[in-house]
Structure 1
């Protein structure tokens, strides 16, 4: 997406100092609310993992990680994480966490192949969370129940933020709307995936879009998703494939659908094998993470990430993620933003 400059944009918090205070408030409040809603324990997360283990999230399998040799390990290559989608499941197994409980962490990642715009930065910060579930919980009803809990955590944060910063008025609806990507395609067959999102999210303002990564009836996918963590190929009780999705909110500042979370019920052995075959990645079955999963050593889980800078940007009604976090931007984008009163960190 090209840089978007809203007309007559103003920082409703007045100053950069007030913005920094509000960012801290959002982060403190939301992680407490998320932990309470999902029964999560905070744990410390790695910033790097060893290459060749299958632990790093390879996103759409084309993005390049930041990789470097570790001198004291005989120059064995390590890489900065893209996310902790698979690391969390290993952590739950090693901690022996019981069903109904889980973990969350402050995840800091680098994604050097991101296309920089209002929403995307090479620096990614999110609350990565993962929860142990029972095999019988691997269904759409359980997924929707979990989504509603996360949405409630967002709404509680929004309402508490309004008390502390009354200029930041709440805008979220009472409930979140659920729809499958195939249903959305049938509603708007002539639109692109992003255009479809804009139509449905403009109407409902808060949407959980199900089935990200699975093939749709026109042979496309709504958006990419790796084959080895979210389960996007198992049939659900609505008659479509997919036990994962994205939380999308309507952003009044950008006049666009705005993703704040990607999440889902994770693959079991059967779904892992099926999805690796679909993507032609059967060789991954020999990697450390995949071997442990296929050997039945990892628990059934549900998990995802909630973007920290993204959520702050939405709740504080900012036009650019660079108003929340410090990162790298082109001089041209910095100039255009400065002319519009958008102060990038």
Structure 2
């Protein structure tokens, strides 16, 4: 309950029936724009993967996956996905998708180690997407161009929502602002990473923070990243490290920095070797995915995830993610929300 934010005088702009219809509108519109702008085709995704393949996303490296033995496979263990960061890249290779095109999917995951907050749930639903690029396109310019395309899809979806529900006014700024995590540290050396995000998000409304996962000047990363999908250790032209980042919006209802997407240029052979060594995870090189990558058998890609419930929550100006998705919540939390006109599904 200490993590629960109750906005003063909160009242949902839509009733429950309108909310359900608006959720469908947002999801339909956004994936339409996203797939067209990035040239992505929809594919079917797994809910579970085998543990020994190395295909599951390790997130920050400490979160426990939901795992279970399979009787028909001699009790070999399967895991419910955390996300599909590595699976998508593997599938691009299997489908032989050429450079300039990619895939997206509806990803459903379980993350039992998440804390209960206004924006975190045990159930995660997002659009996971991945696009094939050339080795020459593994650059900051490619990253920024792709971020701008995603942001344009967000803006068009917001416009369509306002057209259908006039009580919901568009608030996203015209452009998204780019800044490196190292620059943020220099500007606000005495603040925590989350406090820095709050500062820059409130000032610009929409920001992409570059360089998530690599050690900065203070010896710490801005935030955690697994070593085997995003490239957070390759020096860029301006001297900073990293070819990845987060799209963060200013949430005026909760008055917080609101992460909507994590994405980046994926590791090549050299970056994977380097990052596994930095994290002391070199034993992963024996896993199927990592062996294929190191052998040059996987395409160069850029990819990420965009939260479906997060996007709906933001655009509908909801106070809690439980207003736009069904999950498990403590009874105390549900009662406290109900008292404050926050109706959990």
Which TM class, normalised by the smaller chain length? over 0.9
Alignment of 1:116-135 (within 5 A): 116-135=116-135
- 1:201 is the counterpart of 2:227: no
Aligned to 1:306, what secondary structure does the other structure show? strand
- Structure 1: distance between partners of 2:324 and 2:177: 28
* Equivalent runs, 1:56-67 vs 2, <5 Å: 56-67=56-67
Matches of 1:205 and 1:61, distance apart in 2: 30
Counterparts of 1:203 and 1:277 in 2: how far apart (Å)?
37
Structure 1 distance, partners of 2:202, 2:37, is 27
In structure 2, what is the Cα distance between the partners aligned to 1:145 and 1:114? 32
1:61 and 1:215 map into 2 onto residues whose CA distance is 16
Partner of residue 144, structure 1:
144
Cα deviation, residue 74, structure 1? 1.8
Q: Which blocks of at least 5 consecutive residues in structure 1 are unaligned?
A: none
Return the alpha-carbon distance in structure 2 between the equivalents of residues 26 and 140 of structure 1: 29
3-state secondary structure, aligned to 1:52: helix
1:332 shift after superposition: 1.2
The aligned residue for residue 300 of structure 2 is 300
2:6 equivalent to 1:9? no
Give the TM-score, by structure 2 length.
Answer: 0.99
By how many angstroms is 1:73 displaced? Answer: 1.5
CA distance in structure 2 between the aligned counterparts of 1:235 and 1:6, rounded to whole angstroms: 42
Q: Could you tell me which residue of structure 2 aligns to residue 332 of structure 1? A: 332
Q: Is the 8 A contact 1:130 1:302 kept in 2?
A: yes
> Are 1:88 and 2:113 matched, yes or no?
no
Structure 2 Cα separation of the partners of residues 74 and 330 of structure 1: 36
Correspondence for 1:26: 26
Q: Do 1:44 and 1:106's aligned partners in 2 also have CA atoms closer than 8 Å?
A: yes
Pairs within 5 Å for 1:259-278: 259-278=259-278
CA deviations on 1:61-95 (whole Å, 9 max, x unpaired) are 11110001112212211010000000000000000
- 2:239 — aligned with what? 239
Offset at 1:279? 0.3
Gaps (5+ residues) in structure 2?
A: none
SS of the equivalent of 2:52 reads: coil
Tell me how far 1:258 sits from its aligned partner. 0.2
1:237 deviation in Å? Answer: 1.5
Deviation, structure 1 residue 238: 2.0
Q: Report Cα offsets for 1:125-157 as digits up to 9, x if no partner.
A: 000000000111001011000000000000000
| Corresponding residue of 1:190 | 190
Question: How far apart are the structure 1 equivalents of 2:239 and 2:161?
Answer: 39
Residues 139 and 237 of structure 1 are in contact (CA less than 8 Å); yes or no, is this contact kept in structure 2? no
Displacement of 1:239 in angstroms is 1.4
Instruction: Give 2:38's aligned residue.
Output: 38
Cα deviation digits, residues 89-122 of structure 1 (max 9, x gap): 0000000000000000000000000011100001
The answer as to 2:194 corresponding to 1:174 is no
Deviation at 1:52, TM superposition (A): 1.8
CA distance in 2 between partners of 1:237 and 1:126 (Å)? 32
Q: Distance in 1 between matches of 2:214 and 2:271?
A: 12
Q: Displacement, 1:230?
A: 0.1
Query: For the residues of structure 1 that align with 2:9 and 2:52, how far apart are their CA atoms?
Result: 49
In 1, Cα distance between equivalents of 2:61 and 2:220: 17
Q: Distance in 1 between matches of 2:321 and 2:237?
A: 37
RMSD of the TM alignment (CA)? 0.6
- Give the distance between the partners of 2:167 and 2:331, measured in 1 at CA: 31
User: What displacement does 1:334 show?
Assistant: 0.7
Provide the rounded CA distance (Å) in 2 between the counterparts of 1:207 and 1:115.
Answer: 25
Instruction: Give TM-score, length-normalised by structure 1.
Output: 0.99
